[in-house]
Structure 1
Amino acid sequence: MHQIRKIAFLLIITPFFCSAGDLVKSAIQHDEQLNIAYMNTVKFLNKNQIQKLKKAQLLWIRYRDAVCEFESDLPKKGHWIKSNIADSNSLECISRLSAERTKELELYSKLIGSSKKDARNDQIIISKSILNDKNAMHGWLLYGMALKTWPIELEESGQPNLYKRELFARSKTAQIWQELKANKAVTPDKYLDELVIIYEAGFMEEYVWAYIRKSGRTQNSLKLDKFRQWIFVNLPNHKAIINTGITVPAP
């Protein structure tokens, strides 16, 4: 981050006292931690932000050095470390201010990282295969919106229940696709039409569990045998679409 001449000079001298060496070691350690915090923050920034932070950091280094130079001239109150071995006031100042700046940079990283994560979670990512099918795209966009608006339900482990998430999204997609078809706003789509049939038959829970995403444990309330018999008779050639071409990051 910044070459500390006094520290570099001290490194070539074997300290006569243990505490003098500890002060040097502490100052170097805090400077290294400051470097790490700075680089971790830069990872989240664009080019313009990097330039601004770099300028701010250089100004901060000048501020640190000026403050520590001032503190080095303060009375040492009988400190036993000889001035030709280590300037204790200056070293302690470097450690203290570097630690404070490190905390500031770590806070920047958390705030920026959290902001970027929230932005990613707010996106609906559409694959080219969906974009090429303008009719089906309406239905799968509904699916993506349902994933985004899912009222989060947690498993016993505290993790989001992704089975419930998928069930919510497929059910909402079937409901609205049915309305769009009734209003002749869309043309038939084999998979989405069959999803409506499954929903109307009351087997969406069984369908999602059996075909799309199983929950962590078998659902005792599911009528799986009855569902398998039903789909064999009513939709014998049904092929589930698992990779929908729509991606919404999980909460």
Structure 2
Amino acid sequence: MKHLYALLLLTTTITQASEDCRDPVTQSAMNICAFQDYQQADAALNAAYKKRVATLDKAQLERLRTAQRAWITFRDAQCRYEAGVYEGGSMAPLVHSSCLTLLTEQRTKDLIAPLDQP
């Protein structure tokens, strides 16, 4: 029963956070909404990556994988750096997720751009 209550509470919190994302007021809601934005950006990145992979030969695919791994390392380090200013504070998750979102959206554009060229 205790687990059921925890699941219900979590589901309610997530649902409320989704509704609050239209105009989040509390820091907690802003943090949750920023993380949801990142999840959407990450899903778009994964879709763009799959499209890009489908167009590459074996050598280019290996180069892309190397570049993607390096980019992920950069993205994660950059966002830890940016959020580090607020370490221990309630804004740190918002800054971290916002950074992840911005860099992920930029990377998605980079992956899509060659597909748009004739």
TM superposition score normalised by structure 2: 0.71
Question: What residue is the counterpart of 1:82 in the other structure?
Answer: 90
User: Which string of whole-angstrom CA distances, capped at 9 and with x for unpartnered residues, describes residues 28-64 of structure 1?
Assistant: 1111111111111111111111110011000000000
Specify which of 32, 35, 50 is matched with residue 46 of structure 2: 35
TM-score scaled by length of structure 1? 0.35
Residue 59 (1) aligns with residue 59 (2)? no
Write the distance in 1 (CA, Å) between the matches of 2:29 and 2:80. Answer: 23
Match of 1:107 in 2: 113
Specify the alignment match of 1:70 in structure 2: 81
More helix, by proportion: 2
Quote the sequence identity (%).
29
Opposite residue 87 of structure 1, the aligned amino acid is P
**Residue ranges of structure 1 left out of the alignment (5+ in a row):** 1-11, 115-251
1:86-127 deviations in Å (ceiling 9; x for gaps):
61111100000000000010002223xx2xxxxxxxxxxxxx
**Counterpart-to-counterpart distance in 2, 1:55 and 1:63:** 12
CA contact (8 A) 2:52 2:115 kept: yes
Using CA pairs below 8 Å that are at least 6 residues apart, which structure has the higher relative contact order? Answer: 2
Which amino acid letter does the alignment assign opposite residue 69 of structure 1? R
Alpha-carbon contact 2:30-2:94 (below 8 Å) kept: no
Gaps of 5+ in 2: 1-9, 18-25
Q: How far, CA to CA, are the matches of 2:36 and 2:61 in structure 1?
A: 29
Bigger radius of gyration among the two: 1
- The aligned runs of 1:105-184 (5 Å cut-off) are 105-111=111-117, 114=118
